[in-house]
Amino acid sequence: MFAHMRPTIKDIAERAGVGLGTVSRVLNDHPRVSETTRAKVMGAVRDLNYVPNLAARGLSMGKTQSIAVIAPFFTRSVFVERLHGIEETTSENGYDVVIYNVDAVEKRDRYFRTVPDPRRVDGVIVISLPPTLPDVARFQRSSVPVVFVDVGNPICEPFDRIVINDVAGGRTATRHLIDLGHRRIGYIGDIPQAGFNFTAGEDRFEGYRRALIEAGIGIRPEYHLDGRFGREVARELAMRMLGLAEPPTAIFASNDTQALGVLEAARDLGLDVPGDLSVVGYDDIEMADFLGLTTVRQLLFESGRRSVEALLRRIEEPEKGPTCDTLPVELIVRRTTAPPR
């Protein structure tokens, strides 16, 4: 009878000898169902290989069973790894993910205006994109819950947040080089694209600066260069820094991609790493392990997973106070750092 069609809850009801409402209550785990009835319904579910239609079930409960993720430049490794954590956790909980890639300020503004709509999604996760005050007011007026990931801006305090202490991470990276005996330590950062207001790079530089001050090491302006995100730009900046009359013996790059550019510059100049130059990155993307790069690991997959868990809790308990989950960072020592010669 069911060989060529997908069974429905009506088929389940007929097989179990109960009403449609009873089947619905069993499938939604309603407590007001006897164990005998529950067993009959679940037996029919197994006999017919019934798979719930999550979209239809969601609509019946006033939900879309979809979660939106608004992320910038999502093909970059750090965002891909976060999205892996999000996708796996949403799938486990019966939700679909809709990704909105932001590669221009205009897109960010449009998505912030239009995506938090209960007719489209049940919740929104925003990654690394600080909102403006009007954005915050709009999100608060919406009935759609919003969770921020990697956004430390205080104006986000009314929302659930998953944050990374990048100041601590920058300090940890620099402290490692100081403990090895380095005193001439450079920093290569990335300039955020205009209008995006990313803060991670600034925070990592602040950690670098604090570590030097705590160690009594003077901050030398020529040892601080910023450029557009990317390996080639970082290579050019490192070539310039390493061409100084008194070059640094170590460089901390604000992300692993830029650290790769620094390694390429060292190779082009015939410098041994770590003999002539120590290099530290940040993020611990997959490439870092392959290169033997010393780096600061942030829990990218875990941040994605926790953002979904926070959002699902918010959907279930909309009146609960906002939470802030600060994830730890960890120094991963590999082959690119050593004491100076």
Residues 256 and 199 grouped into a single domain = yes
Residue 103 placed within a domain: yes
Residue 339 placed within a domain: no
Q: Report the domain count for the chain.
A: 3
Residues 264 and 315 grouped into a single domain = no
Residues 42 and 116 grouped into a single domain = no
Q: How many CB atoms lie within 10 A of CB 133?
A: 8
Q: How many CB atoms lie within 10 A of CB 268?
A: 12
Residues 293 and 170 grouped into a single domain = yes
Residue 261 placed within a domain: yes
Residues 160 and 304 grouped into a single domain = yes
Question: Could you give the CA distance from residue 159 to residue 272 in angstroms, rounded to a whole number?
Answer: 47
Residues 177 and 289 grouped into a single domain = yes
Q: What is the pTM of this model?
A: 0.78
Question: Could you give the CA distance from residue 238 to residue 186 in angstroms, rounded to a whole number?
Answer: 9
Per-residue model confidence (pLDDT) at position 2: 40
Per-residue model confidence (pLDDT) at position 31: 64
Residue 3 placed within a domain: no
Q: pLDDT tens for the chain, 341 residues: list them.
A: 444 466 777 788 889 998 766 776 777 666 667 888 888 988 888 888 876 655 455 544 557 788 999 998 877 888 889 999 999 898 888 888 999 999 888 999 999 999 998 888 999 999 999 999 999 999 999 889 999 999 988 899 999 999 999 999 999 999 999 999 999 999 999 887 666 777 788 899 999 999 999 999 999 999 999 998 889 999 999 999 999 999 999 999 999 999 999 999 999 999 999 999 999 999 999 899 999 999 999 999 999 999 999 999 998 888 889 999 999 999 999 999 999 98
Residues 84 and 152 grouped into a single domain = yes
* CATH number of the domain encompassing residue 262: 3.40.50.2300
**Cis before 274? omega within 30:** yes
Which two tokens mark 301? 């997959």
Residues 148 and 199 grouped into a single domain = no
Residues 291 and 323 grouped into a single domain = no
Q: Assess contact for 145 and 311: CB atoms under 8 A.
A: yes
* CATH number of the domain encompassing residue 37: 1.10.260.40
Q: What are phi and psi of 263, to 5 degrees?
A: -60, -40
Residues 160 and 184 grouped into a single domain = no
Residue 312 placed within a domain: yes
Per-residue model confidence (pLDDT) at position 306: 96
Residue 203 placed within a domain: yes
| Domain membership of residue 101 as a residue range | 66-165+300-327
Residue 57 placed within a domain: no
Residues 109 and 215 grouped into a single domain = no
Residue 92 placed within a domain: yes
Q: Assess contact for 189 and 205: CB atoms under 8 A.
A: yes
Per-residue model confidence (pLDDT) at position 26: 78
Residues 18 and 72 grouped into a single domain = no
Exposed / middle / buried, residue 51 (Cβ in 10 Å: 0-12, 13-18, 19+): exposed
